[in-house]
């Protein structure tokens, strides 16, 4: 069974997450998203909509925890499939709209925030969960979150690992539109059509200009190495092992800060 459903309607492509396990982002699922994006790029589609199955209670449960390494390796390296798909969306030559219904967890929040716009149903939420799992989120991932949301809401989401409503996220500038669930599809289609009517060349250039400018963050080699050493402290820790183990054993983790 396909883990994503790719559909084309005129100049608009739709990629629907379709993994029975609450759309947990396994390498296989992420590779299928990447393939769908590549095919849609070849068809010169003008807007892509990324969504979950209609009526989904969970848009995506985030990174597949069972695929997070526990052998002292960095769990979120440059070539991790989630890192690859985030870059693929950011580099895709046309706008990608995340159409959210249900709850969004962990790395799936970054996946949605790496899209160009987010349209969410009123009853949807987002929760960024590394602190709940003991995971050392990586530098570009944190930067992607910072590009989209201000420090206050990002710190609250990272420090509490608790779901935040779509309404609050719209008030914080993370989500573009919050609509009643029954209007979600039609509203998103209308928004996509507004973009289809503009110049694809200008949209492609603007999207890439904004990506380059938003990524222009001076960081010294010393600063980079400090962040990497902090992250190693986490993924080499007992807390990281405990976070993953507790999740897989379906129990609350007991963190001891080491």
Question: CA–CA separation, 146 vs 216, rounded Å?
Answer: 13
Is residue 58 packed enough to be buried (19+ CB in 10 Å), middle (13-18) or exposed (0-12)?
A: buried
Binding part of the chain for ligand LCV, among 83-91, 127-135, 144-152, 177-185 by CB under 6 A, reads: 127-135
Tokens linked to 108: 């799936």
Tokens linked to 187: 């509203």
Neighbours of 257 (CB within 10 A): 6
Tokens linked to 194: 């507004």
Q: 76: helix, coil or strand?
A: coil
Catalytic position from the list 102, 137, 141, 243: 137
Of 81, 96, 137, 157, which lies in the binding site for ligand LCV, with binding defined by CB under 6 A? Answer: 137
Nearer to ligand LCV, 95 or 134 (CB): 134
Q: Binding to ligand LCV by residue 129, rule CB under 6 A?
A: yes
Binding part of the chain for ligand LCV, among 4-12, 117-125, 130-138, 180-188 by CB under 6 A, reads: 130-138
Q: Where are the beta strands (DSSP E) in 34-137?
A: 47-52, 58-60, 96-100, 103-105, 117-121, 125-127
Answer for the pair 36, 4: CB distance below 8 angstroms, yes or no: yes
Of 6, 33, 65, 112, which lies in the binding site for ligand LCV, with binding defined by CB under 6 A? Answer: 65
Of 28, 38, 54, 66, which lies in the binding site for ligand LCV, with binding defined by CB under 6 A? Answer: 66
Tokens linked to 80: 């991790």
Q: 7: helix, coil or strand?
A: strand
Nearer to ligand LCV, 23 or 188 (CB): 23
Nearer to ligand LCV, 83 or 207 (CB): 83
Annotation says 78 is catalytic: no
Nearer to ligand LCV, 45 or 247 (CB): 247
Q: Binding to ligand LCV by residue 17, rule CB under 6 A?
A: no
Annotation says 177 is catalytic: no
3-state helix, strand, coil in the chain (%, to 5): 50, 15, 35
Per-residue contact track with ligand LCV, 76 to 115, x per CB under 6 A?
A: ---------------------------x-xxx--------
Catalytic position from the list 102, 107, 141, 243: 107
Q: What is the DSSP letter of 66?
A: G
Q: Output the smallest distance, CB 20 to ligand LCV, in A.
A: 9
Annotation says 63 is catalytic: yes
Q: What is the DSSP string of 104-128?
A: EETHHHHHHHTSSEEEEETT-EEE-
Q: Which residue numbers are catalytic?
A: 63, 107, 137
Instruction: By CB under 6 A, name the binding residues for ligand LCV.
Output: 21-22, 24, 58, 61-66, 68, 103, 105-107, 128-130, 132-133, 135, 137
């Amino acid at each position: 069974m396909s883990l994503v459903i790719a559909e084309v309607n005129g100049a608009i492509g739709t990629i629907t997450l379709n993994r029975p396990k609450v759309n947990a982002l396994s390498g296989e699922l992420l590779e299928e998203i990447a393939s769908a994006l590549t095919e849609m790029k070849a068809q010169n589609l003008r807007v892509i909509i990324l969504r979950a199955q209609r009526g989904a209670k969970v848009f995506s449960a985030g990174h597949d925890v069972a695929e997070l390494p526990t052998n002292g390796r960095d769990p979120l390296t440059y070539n991790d499939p989630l890192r690859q798909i985030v870059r693929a969306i950011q580099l895709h030559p046309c706008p990608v709209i995340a159409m959210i219904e249900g709850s969004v967890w962990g790395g799936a929040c970054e996946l949605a925030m790496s899209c160009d716009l987010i349209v969410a149903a009123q009853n949807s939420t987002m929760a960024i969960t590394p602190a709940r799992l003991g995971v050392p989120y990586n530098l570009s991932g944190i930067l992607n979150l910072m590009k989209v949301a201000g420090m206050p809401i990002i710190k609250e989401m990272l420090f509490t690992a608790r779901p935040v409503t779509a309404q609050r996220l719209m008030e914080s500038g993370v989500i573009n539109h919050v609509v009643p669930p029954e209007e979600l599809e039609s509203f998103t289609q209308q928004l996509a059509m507004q973009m289809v009517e503009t110049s694809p060349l200008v949209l492609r250039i603007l999207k890439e200009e904004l990506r380059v400018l938003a990524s222009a963050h001076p960081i010294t080699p010393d600063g980079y190495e400090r962040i990497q050493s902090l992250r190693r402290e986490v993924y080499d820790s007992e807390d990281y092992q405990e976070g993953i183990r507790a999740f897989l054993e379906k129990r609350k983790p007991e963190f001891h800060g080491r």
